[in-house]
Structure 1
């Protein structure tokens, strides 16, 4: 079947398949007992590899034209399930309802919403292995420096991200403008940060800290109503410089700092 790629769904399919797909299977530690959730299977290149190994594969695809292709290839496979929906609208309680490992080449234009959706459904999603734009993977996985952002902290609050390998843009059709990367997010089985600082407070604080990337942490946190004196005192307690920018703080720095404010006179 002659399939025409659609820009509106961010479709760029792998052409140099064997090399990349074998590496994806390897770094994702896919095994027979896994239940895999694949988002945006496309024409089913990765799907075939997964079906040969794992217990079951749940594919979520939005493009109706791809439904015929996928069913023709895999409908006779007992470990194959196809959900024709927008992943952002999938009800995990109804459609998934089991522990899954995500292994996917996701649509790049909705990378952040997809990651957020998976994190929200972490009672089902245990590990995430996804292909994204290289610069996005670098930002999410950054441990220090200018690449760190609200997105970095949003992931770190719930799990540990790792940059696994790079895929050159020439490996895709149509050839995109940027290189890609394969990365992982292993969601915490405990609530190591959630139990210390609630989600609403954490993100209110982080958003303020990154509100102006040119300003240091003191000036940005003043937008929450704290005085310079209180902010500087709390930073000093953690042996952190007043001149640091938000990008230079680890998630543990943020958690410890928020707790100091919560325990102080000013209400977070």
Structure 2
């Protein structure tokens, strides 16, 4: 059955590159007692390997044309469960009680998918996902201009790791950019969530990043503070007023939020 790839679903399927698929399985280390969620299984190249290892595999797919292909291949396997729905509207808590995500996700909704999984971190302990290389670099960046609100959003809840690069030639149709496989493992100890509330933390992170071209003192004025007030607080923290948000660590952001809220 020949399948026509759809641009609207951002479909770039990994062709039969066994070394890449085996590497995915190796780094994600799927155990035989666990439930795996695969988002956007495509024609099921990775699904086959996940089914060999895991206790259960739930595939979430939006494209109805792929339903026949996936059903024909795997419906007879009792471990296989297919949900034909947009992953952004699926109630994941109805799908599984505890598990992990291992997937080559649709690139055009990377951030919403990451955010959706973060929201379900009480039932999803880790995600191993394939994304555009530049997105993985941004999420996993420890310092410098790649860092963004998304980087800090991930750091607040867990630890991101850049695992390996996949050249664009390994896909059909070939995308314009290379891909990367990365992981996000959520903290069990809620180390940052217990120190500062989500709303307070993101209030300062979003303000600090509100204009990438401006330094931190200018961006923080968007919260209604005077430059003198901001300057005084930054001085206490040992942060230069010409510093940019991308160079601050998560610890510095927490200290910054706390010192600004003292008044």
Which secondary structure state, in structure 1, belongs to the residue aligned with residue 211 of structure 2? Answer: coil
Contact 1:17 1:45 in 2 (8 A): no
What is the distance in 2 between the residues matched to 1:29 and 1:235?
Answer: 44
Shift of 1:200: 1.5
- The yes-or-no answer on 1:8 pairing with 2:8 is yes
Shift of 1:72: 0.8
What is the distance in 2 between the residues matched to 1:256 and 1:33?
Answer: 41
Contact 2:99 2:123 in 1 (8 A): yes
Which secondary structure state, in structure 2, belongs to the residue aligned with residue 157 of structure 1? Answer: helix
Shift of 1:234: 2.2
Shift of 1:95: 2.3
Residue correspondence of structure 1 range 66-105 to structure 2 within 5 A: 66-96=66-96, 98-105=97-104
- The yes-or-no answer on 1:246 pairing with 2:255 is no
The equivalent of 1:33 in structure 2 is 33
Provide the TM-score with structure 2 as the length reference.
0.97
Shift of 1:15: 1.5
The equivalent of 1:178 in structure 2 is 177
Which secondary structure state, in structure 1, belongs to the residue aligned with residue 131 of structure 2? Answer: strand
Bigger Cα displacement from structure 2, 192-201 vs 39-48: 192-201
Which secondary structure state, in structure 2, belongs to the residue aligned with residue 102 of structure 1? Answer: strand
Residue correspondence of structure 1 range 1-268 to structure 2 within 5 A: 1-96=1-96, 98-263=97-262, 265=263
Q: Give the length in aligned residue pairs.
A: 263
Contact 2:132 2:180 in 1 (8 A): yes
What is the distance in 2 between the residues matched to 1:25 and 1:34?
Answer: 14
Shift of 1:93: 2.2
Which secondary structure state, in structure 1, belongs to the residue aligned with residue 78 of structure 2? Answer: coil
Shift of 1:16: 4.3
Which secondary structure state, in structure 2, belongs to the residue aligned with residue 36 of structure 1? Answer: strand
Aligned CA-pair RMSD: 1.1
Provide the TM-score with structure 1 as the length reference.
0.95
Shift of 1:54: 1.0
What is the distance in 1 between the residues matched to 2:260 and 2:215?
Answer: 18
Contact 2:16 2:45 in 1 (8 A): no
Over residues 9-53 of structure 1, what are the superposed CA-to-partner deviations in whole Å (9 max), with x where a residue is unaligned?
Answer: 111111242010000011112121221000000000000001101
Over residues 179-213 of structure 1, what are the superposed CA-to-partner deviations in whole Å (9 max), with x where a residue is unaligned?
Answer: 00000000111222122221122212111101111
Shift >6 Å, 4+ stretches:
none
